[in-house]
Amino acid sequence: MENAQPPVIPSPAQRRRHTVTLKLLFIALLVLVLQLPLGLINGLRQERSGHSEAAHARRRADVAESTPAAPQAYSPARAAAEGYRMVERSLKHSVLVLTLVFAAFFLFETLAGLRLHAVHYGLVGAALCLFYLALLALGEVFAPGQAYIGAAVASSLLIVGYSISILHSYARAGSIAALLTAEHSVLYVVLRMEDYALLAGTTALFVVLAAIMFFTRNVDWFAQEAGKEARA
């Protein structure tokens, strides 16, 4: 009777092979999955916008019957309509926002030798989705600019505070804070510049891509897939 061959135990390098590619595929899938809650937020926006327009139409009709016509001033109804429109336009850029933030965490994971779980990416994505929900809620109470700042600050504080723990460094968390600040600032400018929104957005994409190319220019991706350290 022949002796049974011992089981072959894969080496750590073999177990880590292709982890970079799999993580990138996971990030792409997560961005697509997060479009589901964002779609629900957009549906909620449409519903509340419709109810708000109907209520204000009835109010204008009642006022028109009781008082003579007067020039329209900037009213809460107009502010709410602008807030709903800002949420709608922000959601159109959600894929870009999610991708850039996840890319930053992926680069930290790769260049600094960190290990981030799928749950980490998922919770960061949830905080990003809350930005749009907070923007919708605050836009019904405050002016669009104030609502945007409040939503951006609340979402960013969640992500930065969480980053301190999962990235194990205040400096890395500070980099995430700087990224979120720049991202929300550029997005706000894009939302306000209707005539030049495409030009501003395209310019921002070129800058981001150039930064990613610069910081990863010396990374040996084949060594990463083989389980070796990256050469930053």
> What is the structure's pLDDT at 7?
53
| Rounded mean pLDDT, 117-135 | 95
**Residue 31 CA, distance from chain mean position:** 9
Structure pTM?
A: 0.79
What does the alpha-carbon distance between residue 163 and residue 173 come to, in Å, rounded to a whole number?
5
What does the alpha-carbon distance between residue 127 and residue 155 come to, in Å, rounded to a whole number?
6
| Rounded mean pLDDT, 118-143 | 94
pLDDT beyond 90 at 135: yes
> What is the structure's pLDDT at 126?
96
